[in-house]
Every structure is written in structure tokens, then in C-alpha cells.
């Protein structure tokens, strides 16, 4: 079985406090209260902050209140922006401190939807990728375990596609809320392609 593409990998037990083994890694979220160890600096998303994320390859966001305000990341209150952070030659560690857990991943891209006049962002988006149907299914089940994504629809999709892994099968799973945030998986599966994608959306509570 092919390994997962290292766009999003499981962070260590030290960070999440609760991880499950998925072949060669995946993005994870702890469903129990957890805190990052050691000194930490929350990410800023102004120009200088984005450059610092690229340099340090780490982004930590505080959503323990259930929202991520624009001011908390160095942007003006009510500004209409959609920051996009791309690491062109590696991965960054993404950590989102949620009300009742920690969402952690290794990724090369991070997007935030702030195209409005609100004081907070509507969502954080990142991507999970796999090179086989088996690893794709493992990522889905990991989301069920860690985010509280409903298992019935997830297992239904997996069962349906397992008999025809060469076909296409896009599907949006209902959000999980076990971290105190709404985490949604948009499945973008095409068996004719080498890489399969899950678009992960993290929404305020």
C-alpha cells in the first residue's frame, strides 16, 4: 500500500496528547483538552507574519473561544482579506487550539476566509492527500475518531467506493464537533488519478 503524500502528517503524541496510527501519517485532531508544550507564539497573518510562518514553518492559532478574530492575527478589525500561506519547498506545522482539543497537521498550504466585514474569519481550510484508496479511507476514519464526523455516512461512502475504487466519488461529510469547532471533510476522490484529496474546513463553533 502506498504511503500517504506528506502534505498532512500526524503530529506527535507530545502535541496532540491523543493520536492513532495511520499508515505513514495524516492530519489529526485531539478530541480531549490538550495544550501545546513549551513556549509558543501565535501566528500573525500580515505580510511580515506570513513571511515568519514560511521561515519557521509553524503556525499556531488560538480558537479556544470558538472563533479566530482578525485582530488576533495582526489584521485590522473588519478588514476583508483571505490570507493564503504556501510553503513551496516543504511543510509547516499547523496547530489550531480548539475549545476542547487540538487540531494539528503538517501541510504546505493554509487558507483563511475573511472576505467580509466581520471581526472574525469564517473558516480555515487545509488539505489531506493520499495515494491509495486504503489510505484515503484511513484518513476518513481518522477524522471520524478525532473530530466526531458522523461514522454512518463515512462508512457508507467507504463501503460504496470499495467495490469500485477506480471510479470518481466526490462527497461532503457532515461536520464533526468534538473539538468544539465544526470540522468538515469534502472528499475529492478520482480513482484514475495518483493523488486523492480531502479538503478540510474548520469553522467557528
Is the distance from CB of 63 to CB of 29 less than 8 angstroms?
A: no
Least confident segment among 11-15, 60-64, 91-95, 122-126: 11-15
Cα distance between residue 38 and residue 62, in whole Å: 15
Least confident segment among 27-36, 101-110, 123-132, 137-146: 27-36
CA distances for 15 relative to 49, 102, 151, angstroms = 22, 8, 25
What does the pLDDT look like over 167-191, one tens digit per residue?
999 999 999 999 999 999 999 999 9
Rounded to 5 degrees, what angle do the CA atoms 80, 75, 10 make? 95
- Which range is most confident: 65-74, 87-96, 110-119? 65-74
pLDDT above 80: residue 113: yes
In this prediction the pTM is 0.78
In which band, very low, low, confident or very high, does the pLDDT at 105 lie, cut at 50, 70 and 90? confident
What does the pLDDT look like over 10-42, one tens digit per residue?
333 333 333 333 433 344 443 444 455 556 789
Amino acid at each position: 500500500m502506498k504511503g500517504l503524500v506528506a502534505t498532512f502528517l500526524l503530529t506527535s503524541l507530545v502535541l496532540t496528547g491523543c493520536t492513532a496510527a495511520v499508515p505513514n501519517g495524516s492530519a489529526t485532531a485531539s478530541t480531549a483538552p490538550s495544550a501545546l508544550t513549551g513556549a509558543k507564539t501565535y501566528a500573525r497573518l500580515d505580510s511580515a507574519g506570513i513571511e515568519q510562518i514560511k521561515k519557521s514553518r509553524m503556525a499556531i492559532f488560538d480558537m479556544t473561544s470558538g472563533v479566530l478574530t482578525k485582530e488576533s492575527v495582526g489584521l485590522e478589525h473588519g478588514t476583508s482579506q483571505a490570507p493564503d500561506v504556501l510553503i513551496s519547498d516543504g511543510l509547516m506545522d499547523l496547530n489550531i487550539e480548539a475549545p476542547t482539543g487540538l487540531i494539528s497537521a503538517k501541510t504546505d498550504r493554509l487558507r483563511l476566509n475573511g472576505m467580509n466585514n466581520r471581526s472574525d474569519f469564517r473558516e480555515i481550510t487545509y488539505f489531506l492527500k493520499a495515494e491509495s484508496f486504503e489510505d484515503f479511507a484511513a484518513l476518513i476514519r481518522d477524522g471520524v475518531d478525532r473530530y466526531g464526523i458522523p461514522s454512518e455516512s463515512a462508512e457508507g461512502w467507504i463501503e460504496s467506493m470499495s467495490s469500485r475504487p477506480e471510479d470518481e466519488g466526490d462527497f461532503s461529510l457532515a461536520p464533526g464537533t468534538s473539538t468544539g469547532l465544526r470540522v468538515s471533510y469534502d472528499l475529492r476522490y478520482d480513482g484514475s488519478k495518483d493523488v486523492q484529496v480531502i479538503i478540510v474546513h474548520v469553522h467557528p463553533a
